[in-house]
């Protein structure tokens, strides 16, 4: 019969497609990881002999150290500011009706539409026009703008998933609004807040395009430092840094997963 | 009118509108201390809005709400001293059972040892002792419900508000919980307002029922009053099963009226007939248990043919085609199970009304 042979074929093709997609997702990281252990001073694949020395070199390289430190400062400030601002906006959008609500929503989400280099260029022009030095301030503000939509969405979704009857129940039990917020609302929003902060941090730490415009030699973040390095050298320290990047991010996500459950962090858990 | 001290909750001329929709029209209602009052009606009748107004989750557009002698019309929920139980239970998922039940006591800044004792008492009351440390998601639906009930009761509220609390449970559990809620309510003597759309639940639980439709209370009375002496066609047909039979008004002699249906003369109350003229058609509302298969020689209300038999365990439902008196099939409810063998499908029978329990209304005006 028709079905008897089409079923296994479809199943086989399906598996093939899934495998291919997974392979393409993982392949770049895999290639770079292998290249990082190449003993020779070229970025080639596959390596002929193996070594850890590029990790040592990358970690010792002053520009990378500075870039990492700058990145951590910028990321910590930008994602924390974005969390507070985005959280407040999310609460306003979820709980209150007001004029220009749609417009506010559009403006807040607009960095998703505007290319990063436009945002970077804009801040560069503004900063020079206002006579601001290209210090951390400009980079932080720029990153806040870029990651705000993600924080906003994350908090907004967890607010939506929060059963408003829980807050009513707390009120019926005699809890004034402030107590409701502290004992019910915030504890239940924590997964959303943590995931929002985490995604903002990852995005901010990896952000390159806009950062290229608004950073200076003294304030360049790690992706910019990497770019400057690769313009002059092409040895595997690049790949080594990439591997470190991947490991740190994976560790962060694993911790978040172990602590809160990835389902909650990604906001995919459904209400019971 | 009963004295103010015997009234737990009083609503006076309360109206609420959502945009263009009138959810409540000028509702006045006095809930007596210690009674279990049911707000019964189809969805959208305003019963939940009424409950939310008592709870303070909503504020009325006009009118006044008084709880335990205190005017609370615009008092926020947390100062009303109410207990509220949601259909979805709304247990705090991040707190243990004990923390859930103790929440209201902590908000009242009660001493820790007292909290522990009262939480234990409340859990014992709902038969959940030993589950203090579980999280809500580790409990069955029925257990979650009991936690919600304990949480609402432990604060000794002035009034307990229940929003369709049983509708998420399966049938058997539901019947058991009905009895349990009624038991607890009676034991504690707590004033309770129970919202439901399930008329059998309302009939079995309530001291009094307020039947609602389109934002108004259509009738307020005991289960018997609402079932036996409905004020209008809506109440008659919403509460319990009812047959609507065509009859003719013979005469009105207040407070009685006489109607003729087939060969039978029936005395009904004239209360529901207002200005109906003798000789005109009336609709006779007859409960299925007030109909019998006529024995030969007795006057019959109509002739019909058995169209279906439904065995219900304790009783048998016969569905009768009787085109002389009703367009829909007539439902006859017979106690015991003789009906199954005596009147199989297809049997021609005569129908007769027992007792004078019928209620007559003027026919609906044709649009």
Residue A187 is nearest to which of B76, B94, B107, comparing CB atoms?
A: B94
In Å, how far is A272's CA from the nearest CA of chain B? Answer: 8
Instruction: State the complex-level ipTM.
Output: 0.84
* C-beta neighbour count of A67 within 10 angstroms: 24
Between these two residues, B17 and A102, which has the higher pLDDT value? B17
B255 close to B270: Cβ distance less than 8 angstroms: yes
Residue B82 is nearest to which of A166, A172, A183, comparing CB atoms?
A: A172
Mean pLDDT for the stretch of residues A229-251: 86
Q: Are residues B260 and B223 in the same domain?
A: no
Kindly determine whether residue B92 and residue A170, on different chains, have CB atoms separated by under 8 Å.
Answer: yes
Closest by CA to B181, choosing from B205, B152, B201, is B205
The confidence band for A263, taking pLDDT boundaries of 50, 70 and 90, is low
* B40: helix, strand or coil: strand
Cβ-Cβ contacts under 8 Å, A171 against chain B: 56-57, 76-78
Quick one: pLDDT at residue A142?
93
Residue B95's domain is classified under what CATH number? 3.40.50.300
Domain boundaries, chain A: 61-265
Q: In what order do the strands lie in the sheet with B82-85?
A: B82-85, B159-163, B192-196, B36-40, B208-213, B216-221
Residue A265 pLDDT exceeds 80: no
With respect to residue B76, please indicate whether it lies within any of the assigned structural domains. Answer: yes
Kindly determine whether residue B88 and residue A165, on different chains, have CB atoms separated by under 8 Å.
Answer: yes
With respect to residue B126, please indicate whether it lies within any of the assigned structural domains. Answer: yes
pLDDT, tens digit, 9 for 90 and up, residues B27-54: 999 999 999 999 999 988 999 999 999 9
Burial tier of B149 (Cβ tally within 10 Å: 0-12, 13-18, 19+) = buried
Kindly determine whether residue B151 and residue A166, on different chains, have CB atoms separated by under 8 Å.
Answer: no
B325 close to B247: Cβ distance less than 8 angstroms: yes
Q: How far apart are CA B134 and CA B150, in angstroms?
A: 15
pLDDT, tens digit, 9 for 90 and up, residues B151-160: 999 999 999 9
What per-residue string of b and e applies to B178-205 under the rule 16 or more CB within 10 Å gives b? bebbbebbeeeebbbbbbbbbbebbbeb
- Phi, psi values for residue B32, rounded to 5°: -75, 150
Domain covering A61-265 in this structure, CATH number: 1.10.3720.10
Across A63-67, A173-177, B2-6, least confident range:
B2-6
Could you tell me the CA-to-CA distances from A124 to A128, A141, A206, A268 in Å, in that order?
6, 12, 19, 38
Q: How far apart are CA A210 and CA B229, in angstroms?
A: 78
A240 close to A54: Cβ distance less than 8 angstroms: yes
Q: How far apart are CA B103 and CA B119, in angstroms?
A: 10
Q: Are residues B9 and B56 in the same domain?
A: yes
**Which residues are CB-neighbours of B201 under 8 A, at least 6 positions away?**
B38, B166, B174, B178
A154 close to A190: Cβ distance less than 8 angstroms: no
Kindly determine whether residue B86 and residue A176, on different chains, have CB atoms separated by under 8 Å.
Answer: no
Range of the domain at B13: 4-236
pTM, full prediction: 0.79
Mean pLDDT for the stretch of residues A23-45: 82
Q: Are residues B200 and B254 in the same domain?
A: no
Q: Are residues B71 and B89 in the same domain?
A: yes
Mean pLDDT for the stretch of residues B61-71: 94
Quick one: pLDDT at residue B3?
66
With respect to residue B366, please indicate whether it lies within any of the assigned structural domains. Answer: no
Q: Are residues B307 and B275 in the same domain?
A: yes
B341 close to B269: Cβ distance less than 8 angstroms: no
pLDDT, tens digit, 9 for 90 and up, residues B296-347: 777 788 889 999 999 888 899 999 999 888 888 999 999 888 888 888 898 8
B297 close to B334: Cβ distance less than 8 angstroms: no
With respect to residue B367, please indicate whether it lies within any of the assigned structural domains. Answer: no
Cβ-Cβ contacts under 8 Å, B161 against chain A: 172
- Residue finishing a domain among B236, B264, B292: B236
Helix (H) or strand (E) holding A258, with range, is helix A237-260
Q: How far apart are CA B53 and CA B161, in angstroms?
A: 11
Quick one: pLDDT at residue B55?
95
Number of domains forming the structure of chain B: 2
Kindly determine whether residue B104 and residue A173, on different chains, have CB atoms separated by under 8 Å.
Answer: yes
Kindly determine whether residue B92 and residue A174, on different chains, have CB atoms separated by under 8 Å.
Answer: no
pLDDT, tens digit, 9 for 90 and up, residues A165-221: 999 999 999 999 999 999 999 898 888 888 888 888 988 998 999 999 888 888 899
- Relative orientation angle of helices A62-95 and A101-109, to the nearest 10 degrees: 160
Q: Are residues B184 and B248 in the same domain?
A: no
* B162: helix, strand or coil: strand
A–B CB contacts, 8 A cutoff, strictly below: 64
Residue B261's domain is classified under what CATH number? 2.40.50.100
DSSP label of A38? B
Q: Are residues B202 and B264 in the same domain?
A: no
Most confident of A68-77, A122-131, A230-239: A68-77
Count CA atoms within 13 Å of residue A127 on its CB side: 21
**Which residues are CB-neighbours of A75 under 8 A, at least 6 positions away?**
A143, A201, A204, A205
Could you tell me the CA-to-CA distances from B53 to A120, B66, B74, B188, B362 in Å, in that order?
53, 11, 9, 24, 35
* B141, closest residue in chain A (CA to CA): A272
Residue with tokens 């609004």: A177
- Residue finishing a domain among B236, B263, B289: B236
User: Which A positions 165-184 lie with beta carbon below 8 A of chain B?
Assistant: 165-166, 168-177, 179, 183-184
- Phi, psi values for residue B75, rounded to 5°: -75, 135
pLDDT, tens digit, 9 for 90 and up, residues B215-257: 999 999 999 999 999 999 999 999 888 999 999 999 888 888 9
Mean pLDDT for the stretch of residues B251-278: 87
Residue with tokens 């990281």: A29
- Residue finishing a domain among B236, B264, B290: B236
B272 close to B360: Cβ distance less than 8 angstroms: yes
Helix (H) or strand (E) holding B31, with range, is strand B21-32
With respect to residue B176, please indicate whether it lies within any of the assigned structural domains. Answer: yes
Instruction: Establish if B137 touches chain A: CB-CB under 8 angstroms.
Output: yes
Per the structure block, which two tokens stand in for A93?
């959008």
Cβ-Cβ contacts under 8 Å, B151 against chain A: 169, 173
With respect to residue B116, please indicate whether it lies within any of the assigned structural domains. Answer: yes
Per the structure block, which two tokens stand in for B354?
């027992």
For residue B18, list its beta bridge partners.
B21
Mean pLDDT for the stretch of residues B84-104: 94
pLDDT, tens digit, 9 for 90 and up, residues A17-32: 999 999 998 888 888 8
């Amino acid at each position: 019969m028709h079905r008897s042979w089409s079923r296994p074929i479809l199943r086989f093709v399906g598996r093939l497609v899934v495998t291919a997609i997974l392979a393409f997702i993982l392949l770049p990281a895999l290639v770079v990881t292998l290249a990082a252990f190449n003993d020779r001073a070229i970025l080639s694949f596959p390596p002929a002999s193996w070594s850890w020395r590029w990790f040592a070199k990358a970690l010792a390289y002053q520009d990378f150290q500075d870039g990492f430190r700058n990145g951590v400062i910028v990321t910590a400030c930008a994602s924390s500011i974005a969390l507070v601002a985005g959280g407040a906006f999310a609460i306003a959008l979820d709980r209150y009706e007001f004029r220009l609500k749609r417009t506010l929503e559009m403006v807040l989400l607009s960095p998703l539409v505007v290319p990063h280099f436009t945002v970077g260029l804009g801040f560069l022009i503004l900063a020079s026009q206002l006579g601001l030095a290209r210090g951390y301030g400009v980079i932080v503000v720029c990153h806040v703008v870029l990651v705000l939509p993600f924080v906003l969405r994350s908090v907004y979704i967890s607010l939506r998933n929060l059963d408003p009857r829980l807050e009513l129940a707390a009120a019926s039990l005699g809890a004034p609004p402030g107590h409701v917020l502290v004992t019910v609302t915030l504890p239940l929003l924590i997964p959303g807040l943590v995931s929002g902060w985490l995604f903002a941090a990852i995005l901010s730490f990896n952000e390159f395009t806009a950062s290229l415009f608004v950073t200076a030699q003294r304030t360049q973040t790690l992706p910019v430092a990497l770019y400057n390095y690769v313009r002059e050298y092409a040895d595997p320290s690049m790949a080594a840094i990439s591997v470190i990047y991947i490991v740190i991010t994976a560790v962060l996500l694993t911790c978040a997963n172990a602590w809160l459950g990835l389902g909650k962090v990604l906001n995919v858990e459904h209400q019971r | 009118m009963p004295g103010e001290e015997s009234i737990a909750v009083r609503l006076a001329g309360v109206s609420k509108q959502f945009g263009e929709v009138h959810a409540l029209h000028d509702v006045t209602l006095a809930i007596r201390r210690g009674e279990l009052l049911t707000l019964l009606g189809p969805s959208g009748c305003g019963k939940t809005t009424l409950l939310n107004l008592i709870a303070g989750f909503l504020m009325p557009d006009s009118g006044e709400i008084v709880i335990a002698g205190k005017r609370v019309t615009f008092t926020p929920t947390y100062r009303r001293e109410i207990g509220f139980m949601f259909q979805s239970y709304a247990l705090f998922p991040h707190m243990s059972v004990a923390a859930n039940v103790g929440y209201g006591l902590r908000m009242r800044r009660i001493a820790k040892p007292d909290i522990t004792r009262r939480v234990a008492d409340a859990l014992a009351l709902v038969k959940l002792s030993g589950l203090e440390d579980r999280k809500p998601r580790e409990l069955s639906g029925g257990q979650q419900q009991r936690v919600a009930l304990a949480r609402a009761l432990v604060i000794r509220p002035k009034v307990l508000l229940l929003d369709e609390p049983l509708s998420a449970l399966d049938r058997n559990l539901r019947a058991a919980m009905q009895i349990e809620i009624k038991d607890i309510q009676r034991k504690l003597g707590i004033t309770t307002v129970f919202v439901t759309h399930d008329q059998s639940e309302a009939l079995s639980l309530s001291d009094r029922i307020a039947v609602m439709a389109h934002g108004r209370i259509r009738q307020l009375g005991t289960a018997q009053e609402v079932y036996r002496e409905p004020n209008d066609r809506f109440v008659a047909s919403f509460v319990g099963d009812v047959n609507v039979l065509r009859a003719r008004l013979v005469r009105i002699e207040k407070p009685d009226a006489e109607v003729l249906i087939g060969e039978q003369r029936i005395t009904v109350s004239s209360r529901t007939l207002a200005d109906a003229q003798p000789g005109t058609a009336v609709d006779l509302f007859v409960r299925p248990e007030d109909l019998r298969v006529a024995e030969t020689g007795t006057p019959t209300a109509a002739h019909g043919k058995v169209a279906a038999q439904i065995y219900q365990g304790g009783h048998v439902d016969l569905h009768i085609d009787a085109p002389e008196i009703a367009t829909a099939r007539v439902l006859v409810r017979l106690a015991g199970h003789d009906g199954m063998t005596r009147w199989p499908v297809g049997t021609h029978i005569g129908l007769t009304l027992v007792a004078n329990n019928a209620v007559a209304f003027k026919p609906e005006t044709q649009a």
